[in-house]
Chain A
Amino acid sequence: MSPNQGVHPAPVQSPRARLTVRVVGIAAAVGVALTVWLGLWVTPPDQVQGNLVRLVYLHPGVAWVALYLAFGLAAVASLLYLWPRTRSLFWDRLAAAAVEVGVVFNVCTLISGSIWGKPTWGVYWAWDARLTSTAVLLVLFLGYLALRRVPAEPEVRAKRSAFVALFASVDVPIVHFSVLWWKTLHQGATVLNPDLSPTIHGSMAWTLLLSFVALSLVFVWMLLVRYRIGVLEDWLGSGELDVALRERQAEGMIDDEDEAA
């Protein structure tokens, strides 16, 4: 049985933590708004891609978050959970939060990449290394989440998820390189890579940087909130059971004292 968490005090968030989350959220919202304003209006269109280049303030940013920030964090956190000396459910919940938020950003990456691809390559989907690896990563993330839905003790669930994350992390670089070879070995010309621009100058460079910062802040906010949700859910999962048990006891259904009396 799970430890009697109903006895543990309810997980209350310190006012400082709540303030931090709020500040991050506001900063993220402001950052995104600023990026959109700069990206859509202030910055100039590109010589080669015209207005399409404005997607560079969106797509590389979400891709960076999904593929490196979210996935990297999930992998590291899972490792830290598996390592006996640093084992703590904190890392497990952090990894789970990172994966869930990562899925959302991953979907955004695929959609923005696809939308950029249509006018650039003529098709919504091209089997280039980046898009394909991102798609595979999405499926791996979804598998992780599916496995987590299976009801289990928190420690068992944590261990299982951590292993899945470990195997997935090992696989992603292999997949990336194999698809890279796959696409380039027999192909003559390389496909135009949408996230590289021949020359990025001035306002474009700053806006690009801002987009990365803003989207990272969005990720952090979402991560913090999702982590908090995980803590609350886990506490409720065992707490409610104890309350229910105690309510039944009070109703005299499992009451030894009355029987003895």
Chain B
Amino acid sequence: MGYVVAGYSIVLSILFLYGVQLAWRRRRLTRAVERVAASEVGHDGQAGGR
């Protein structure tokens, strides 16, 4: 039974950790995209004012 528990724990941990990593990456990137998009709007405003 020890092998079974070990197997389940390892595999499920790997999947869980990878899933968390994916979610975290997605959140970080979404924020970065929002920042870049916002700054572009800002600059377009400036360039248009020239």
Which A residues contact B (CB, under 8 angstroms)? 6, 9-11, 32, 36, 39-40, 51-52, 54-55, 58-59, 62, 101, 104-105, 107-108, 111-112, 115-116, 118-119, 218, 221-222, 225-226, 228-229, 232-233, 235-236, 239-240, 242-243, 246-247, 250, 257
Contact A10 B37 (CB under 8 A): yes
Contact A6 B33 (CB under 8 A): no
A-B contact pairs, 13 of them (CB 8 A): A9-B37, A10-B34, A11-B33, A32-B15, A55-B8, A58-B8, A59-B7, A119-B3, A225-B26, A229-B29, A239-B37, A242-B40, A243-B36
Contact B36 A40 (CB under 8 A): no
**B residues 25-49 in Cβ contact with A at 8 Å:** 25-26, 29-30, 32-34, 36-37, 39-40, 43, 46-47
Contact B3 A115 (CB under 8 A): yes
**Bound CA–CA A122/B39 (angstroms):** 61
Having A239-B40, A240-B36, one finds 6 other A-B pairs with CB under 8 Å, namely A51-B4, A108-B15, A115-B10, A235-B33, A236-B33, A250-B47
Contacts of A55 in B (CB 8 A): 3-4, 7-8
Chain A nearest Cβ from B42, distance in angstroms: 10
Interface Cβ pair total, 8 Å cutoff: 99
Chain A nearest Cβ from B22, distance in angstroms: 5
Given known A51-B4, A243-B43, A246-B47, contact A112–B18 (CB-CB < 8 A): no
Contact B18 A104 (CB under 8 A): yes
Contacts of B29 in A (CB 8 A): 229, 232-233, 236
Contacts of B18 in A (CB 8 A): 101, 104, 222
Contacts of A116 in B (CB 8 A): 3, 7
Contacts of A218 in B (CB 8 A): 15, 19
Contacts of A119 in B (CB 8 A): 3
Partner of A229, one of B26, B36, B39, B47: B26
